[in-house]
Chains A and B, each alone.
Chain A
Amino acid sequence: AQTVTQSQPEMSVQEAETVTLSCTYDTSENNYYLFWYKQPPSRQMILVIRQEAYKQQNATENRFSVNFQKAAKSFSLKISDSQLGDTAMYFCAFMIWGNQGGKLIFGQGTELSVKP
């Protein structure tokens, strides 16, 4: 079964501090993509960062970076210099390919609150 687990339903961090959101997944596939999406109160899901499983180098996007451990099937998101606008639900997801194309599998989400 293809699953994504986010073990932290809620987290909080002080503004300007660093926070790490955890994500583990289970798949027998060797090729896949991993994503972190952000969903603020406005409800729109916004792609934060993407990692190709065949790349060993961890993806970085400004204040957002990932720690991708393929053997451990772990894909954590680190947010540096947290800002109030980072307050949102964060979803970890991975994409596998079947006969009909790509399919996204999501985790349950982590609700992050950035406090002033």
Chain B
Amino acid sequence: ETGVTQTPRHLVMGMTNKKSLKCEQHLGHNAMYWYKQSAKKPLELMFVYNFKEQTENNSVPSRFSPECPNSSHLFLHLHTLQPEDSALYLCASSQETELPQHFGDGTRLSIL
């Protein structure tokens, strides 16, 4: 039990599909994050939500749309993705943005 649960674990989709990634944290944290992890590259911060409000959008294309209905849940809606979007998408949470983050196991996304 990691405390941060991501589903699905793997996702294969075509470029015209619409899908969503889900993240749930059971730690009572107030901040949640989406990261993209591509091979041989540093983790890239995509979005930050603090108390359900988006506080960071790191120049992410609009084909990625985050949603944070409450402090425990975070979604990443995917639409018309490109092959270069294939990566591991990691969700994380922290009590406050200044405190260490706890990560989920990630969703391995493959775009055909």
Query: Contact partner of A44 among B48, B97, B103, CB < 8 A?
Result: B103
On whether the beta carbons of A100 and B105 are closer than 8 Å, the reply is no
Interface: B104 (CB within 8 A): yes
On whether the beta carbons of A101 and B42 are closer than 8 Å, the reply is no
On whether the beta carbons of B98 and A109 are closer than 8 Å, the reply is no
What is the size category of the interface that chain B forms with chain A? 20 to 34
Interface: B74 (CB within 8 A): no
On whether the beta carbons of A103 and B45 are closer than 8 Å, the reply is yes
Query: Contact partner of A45 among B40, B41, B92, CB < 8 A?
Result: B92
**Residues of A with C-beta under 8 A to B16:** none
**Residues of A with C-beta under 8 A to B96:** 101-102
**Residues of B with C-beta under 8 A to A78:** none
User: What's the least CB distance linking A93 to chain B, in Å?
Assistant: 8
**Residues of B with C-beta under 8 A to A97:** 98
How many residues of chain A are within 8 Å of chain B by beta carbon? 26
Query: Contact partner of A102 among B43, B88, B99, B108, CB < 8 A?
Result: B99
**Residues of B with C-beta under 8 A to A9:** 40
Query: Contact partner of B106 among A43, A46, A95, A100, CB < 8 A?
Result: A43
On whether the beta carbons of B40 and A108 are closer than 8 Å, the reply is yes
**Residues of A with C-beta under 8 A to B100:** 33, 35, 47, 50
Interface: A66 (CB within 8 A): no
**Residues of B with C-beta under 8 A to A104:** 43, 45, 101
Interface: A91 (CB within 8 A): yes
Query: Contact partner of B105 among A35, A43, A103, CB < 8 A?
Result: A43
**Residues of A with C-beta under 8 A to B103:** 37, 44-46
Distance between Cα atoms of A107 and B42 in the complex (Å):
5
CB-contacts of B62-112 with A (<8 A): 88, 90, 92, 94, 96-106, 108
Query: Contact partner of A43 among B88, B94, B101, CB < 8 A?
Result: B88
| Residues in A lying within 8 Å of B, measured CB to CB | 4, 9, 33, 35, 37, 42-47, 50, 91, 93, 95, 97, 100-109
A-B pairs with the 3 shortest C-beta distances? A101-B97, A45-B103, A102-B98
